[in-house]
């Protein structure tokens, strides 16, 4: 056979074979795998963007917005598309370094997905980016809803704050995406499911560099759904008054509630922190300084700090003795000469009271009387009755991170001190010192027992149609005896500085021993005595005696609230009259 003909046949067969392979491969790609590659092509051309939903607003009891949403501008980058020149220009505009931008962008594993690297940028920064957007490859700007707190640090511990979601949070809840904000504390955290809303979806076309070209019309966008609004029981006006009354004290906590319904009127902790700073991303250095601050501004003292409650515990010691029928109100012990000897140890009282009955011992806050009363009824009776009321237990408030305090019993003392625990420990416990620890909220709820005829409402911040009570099996006669003494404390005893003109106030002073400095000043009081509408528990750290500091401030708070309530009632009556005339 001719050599040329052989070569021709070989080349022809190779060409035919290659053509057949190409045809078969084309059929495979276009027919059998066409949909797959079409999807991949569309995925490269079309980007699905999540649109953040505005969080629900939070209102005080009178309809005043205490948390809302405002628009803010953000910057995002596509890591695969950004170059060194862009990185340098963007770093200069945002006043940061390129390494930080790249590090933030690595949160997203897919380098072709945009990642928000700056929130709440200024109009000046926005203008500079928009002017250079054509040469800033892989850079995008947009508008997002940002949380806004009109009252700053005043309500920080109550409302909490929102911050960027962490990797751990993303793993546990797939309804969020990188860069989303999530509630981190307070109401924002507790009611996150209601406040967050449902994010929307937008489809945009992008070029090979990852830059947006425009919206995709053939795919329908899904608009975001705003979160639910929350109506709280909080009185912002009263909260502002409390902050003013406590402005001279570095660290303090105050709980005001309606003792009949459990509605929280004020939950204030000082010092605080402006939660708006979290909106545009607090820097690591600022965060470290914040957490190392010895005054602990992030700590909610109202529900997390545990203090010895001092003499504010004495009414409950009296109640335990009366309810167990071990004594009556006429009971007297050895008279008070200012000190009491137990073995080799001397226990002091703040004054020489002489001979007192139970009523007088509460009114004048005699330590010597309660040393003897606590010893007489014993640790088991005292623990049993105090535990029933709620000491050593969480109150159940609708806020995260509440502490339960500590109410030591016989087993606890044995575990802690072994066989070395003595009657002296009961002495300390009987006057609210030593190992007994309570939160201000816990103490406030305990006092509702006296204000609400034996019923303790579960405290709540969000409006509820019905009140849930924790009814205690305590003698109403015993409650009335102690309640009468609490009125005497303010009328002529240690709490006279808490008096309010033309209003009968019940309450108890307390001084909490502090091994690290000056004593803490406490007062718990409610008014009016016959039909209480407000109960206040106040503690000013390192401020001294409860009678001289906490008591007068509590009196001012009660007076402010009752005056404000009276004005609202008058305004409502006038408004009703106007409506009738118009009709």
Q: What is the pLDDT of residues 83-136, one digit of tens each?
A: 889 999 999 999 888 888 888 888 878 787 888 888 889 999 999 999 998 889
- From 188, 216, 231, the end of a domain falls on 231
Which helix (H) or strand (E) segment holds residue 140: the answer is: strand 139-148
pLDDT the model gives residue 209: 55
167 and 262 fall within a common domain: no
Q: Which of 347, 369, 367, 346 lies closest to 356, judged by CA?
A: 369
Give domain status of residue 9, yes or no. Answer: no
Give domain status of residue 75, yes or no. Answer: yes
201 and 278 fall within a common domain: no
Range(s) of the domain holding residue 393 = 236-290+298-569
Distance CA 366, CA 334 (A): 12
Q: Give the model's confidence band at 206: pLDDT under 50 very low, under 70 low, under 90 confident, else very high.
A: low
426 and 559 fall within a common domain: yes
Q: What is the CATH number of the domain that holds 444?
A: 3.40.710.10
Q: Which of 426, 468, 466 lies closest to 445, judged by CA?
A: 468
354 and 453 fall within a common domain: yes
194 and 329 fall within a common domain: no
Looking at the DSSP bridge assignments, the partners of residue 509 are 523
Do residues 34 and 27 touch, judged by C-beta distance below 8 A? no
The total number of structural domains that make up the chain:
2
168 and 286 fall within a common domain: no
pLDDT tens readout for residues 63-87? 999 999 999 999 999 888 888 899 9
Do residues 107 and 115 touch, judged by C-beta distance below 8 A? yes
Which helix (H) or strand (E) segment holds residue 159: the answer is: helix 156-159
Give domain status of residue 10, yes or no. Answer: no
Q: Which of 165, 54, 58, 63 lies closest to 107, judged by CA?
A: 165
- From 189, 208, 231, the end of a domain falls on 231
Q: Which of 300, 331, 160, 295 lies closest to 230, judged by CA?
A: 160
Average pLDDT across the chain, whole number = 89
Q: Give the model's confidence band at 380: pLDDT under 50 very low, under 70 low, under 90 confident, else very high.
A: very high
b (16+ CB within 10 A) / e for 109-124: eeeebbbbbbbbbeee
Q: How many residues are listed for the chain in this entry? A: 583
Give domain status of residue 467, yes or no. Answer: yes
Pick from 24-28, 187-191, 228-232: least confident:
24-28
Give the Cβ contact number of residue 57 at 10 Å: 18
pLDDT the model gives residue 469: 82
Looking at the DSSP bridge assignments, the partners of residue 471 are 455
Q: Which of 66, 277, 287 lies closest to 155, judged by CA?
A: 66
Q: What angle do CA 213, 103, 127 make, to 5 degrees?
A: 45
Distance CA 358, CA 224 (A): 64
pLDDT tens readout for residues 328-345? 999 999 999 999 998 889
pLDDT the model gives residue 37: 47
317 and 396 fall within a common domain: yes
Give domain status of residue 30, yes or no. Answer: no
Do residues 120 and 148 touch, judged by C-beta distance below 8 A? no
Q: What is the CATH number of the domain that holds 168?
A: 3.90.1310.10
Do residues 111 and 79 touch, judged by C-beta distance below 8 A? yes
197 and 338 fall within a common domain: no
How far is C-alpha 301 from the chain's CA centre?
10
Give the Cβ contact number of residue 302 at 10 Å: 28
Do residues 308 and 436 touch, judged by C-beta distance below 8 A? yes
Query: pTM of this prediction?
Result: 0.87
What tokens appear for 275 in the block? 């939660």
349 and 371 fall within a common domain: yes
513 and 459 fall within a common domain: yes
What tokens appear for 339 in the block? 């000190």
pLDDT tens readout for residues 137-172? 889 898 989 999 999 999 999 999 998 888 888 888
Distance CA 357, CA 343 (A): 25
- From 184, 208, 231, the end of a domain falls on 231
- Is 5 a residue whose pLDDT tops 90? no
Do residues 268 and 302 touch, judged by C-beta distance below 8 A? yes
Give domain status of residue 479, yes or no. Answer: yes
402 and 473 fall within a common domain: yes
Give domain status of residue 19, yes or no. Answer: no
C-alpha pair distances (Å), 36 with each of 44, 46, 316, 371: 13, 15, 74, 83
pLDDT tens readout for residues 316-331? 999 999 999 999 999 9
pLDDT the model gives residue 40: 44
65 and 206 fall within a common domain: yes
Site of tokens 């009282």 = 349
pLDDT mean over 499-505:
97
Give domain status of residue 41, yes or no. Answer: no
């Amino acid at each position: 056979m001719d050599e040329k003909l052989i070569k021709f046949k070989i080349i022809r067969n190779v060409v035919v074979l290659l053509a057949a392979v190409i045809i078969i491969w084309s059929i495979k790609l276009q027919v059998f795998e066409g949909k797959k590659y079409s999807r991949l092509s569309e995925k490269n051309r079309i980007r699905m963007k999540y649109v953040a939903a505005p969080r629900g607003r939070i209102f005080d009891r009178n309809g005043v917005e205490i948390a809302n949403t405002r628009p803010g501008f953000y910057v995002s980058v596509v890591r695969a598309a950004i170059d060194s020149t862009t990185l340098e220009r963007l770093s200069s505009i945002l006043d940061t370094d390129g390494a930080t931008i790249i590090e933030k962008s690595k949160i997203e594993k897919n380098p072709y997905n945009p990642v928000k690297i700056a929130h709440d940028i200024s109009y000046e920064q926005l203008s500079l980016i928009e002017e250079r957007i054509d040469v800033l490859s892989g850079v995008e700007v947009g508008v997002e809803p940002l949380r806004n707190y009109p009252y700053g640090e005043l309500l920080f511990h109550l409302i909490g704050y929102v911050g960027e979601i962490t990797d751990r949070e993303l793993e546990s809840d797939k309804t969020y995406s990188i860069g989303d904000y999530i509630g981190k504390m307070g109401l924002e955290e507790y009611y996150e499911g209601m406040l967050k809303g449902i994010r929307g979806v937008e489809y945009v076309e992008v070029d090979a560099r990852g830059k947006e070209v425009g919206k995709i019309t053939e795919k329908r966008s899904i608009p975001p759904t705003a979160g639910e609004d929350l109506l709280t029981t909080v009185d912002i006006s009263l909260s502002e008054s409390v902050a003013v009354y406590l402005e001279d004290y570095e660290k303090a906590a105050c709980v005001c509630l309606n003792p009949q319904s459990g509605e929280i009127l004020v939950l204030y902790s000082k010092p605080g922190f402006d939660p708006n700073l979290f909106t545009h991303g607090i820097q690591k250095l600022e965060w470290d300084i914040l957490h190392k601050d010895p005054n602990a501004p992030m700590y909610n003292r109202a529900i997390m700090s545990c203090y010895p409650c001092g003499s504010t515990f004495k009414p409950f010691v009296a109640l335990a003795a009366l309810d167990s029928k071990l004594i009556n109100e006429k009971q007297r012990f050895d008279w008070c000469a200012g000190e009491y000897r137990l073995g080799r140890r001397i226990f002091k009282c703040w004054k020489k009271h002489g001979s007192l009955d139970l009523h007088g011992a509460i009114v004048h806050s005699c330590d010597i009387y309660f040393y003897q009363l606590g010893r007489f009824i014993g640790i088991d009776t005292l623990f049993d009755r105090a535990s029933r009321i709620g000491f050593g237990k969480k109150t159940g408030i609708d806020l995260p991170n509440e502490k339960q305090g500590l109410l030591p019993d016989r087993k606890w003392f044995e575990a802690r001190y072994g066989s070395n625990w003595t009657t002296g420990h009961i002495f300390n416990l009987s006057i609210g010192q030593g190992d007994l620890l309570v939160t201000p909220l816990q103490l406030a709820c305990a006092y509702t027992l006296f204000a609400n005829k034996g019923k303790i409402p579960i405290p709540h911040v969000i409006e509820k149609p019905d009140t849930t009570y924790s009814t205690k099996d305590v003698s109403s006669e015993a409650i009335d005896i102690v309640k009468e003494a609490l009125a005497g404390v303010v009328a002529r005893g240690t709490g006279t500085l808490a008096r309010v003109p033309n209003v009968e106030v019940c309450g108890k002073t307390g001084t909490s021993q502090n091994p690290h400095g000056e004593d803490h000043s406490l007062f718990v009081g409610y008014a009016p005595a016959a039909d209480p509408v407000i109960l206040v528990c106040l503690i000013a750290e390192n401020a001294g005696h409860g009678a001289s500091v906490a008591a007068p401030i509590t009196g001012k708070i009660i007076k402010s609230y009752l005056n404000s309530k009276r004005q609202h009632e008058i305004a409502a009556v006038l408004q009703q009259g106007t409506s009738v005339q118009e009709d």
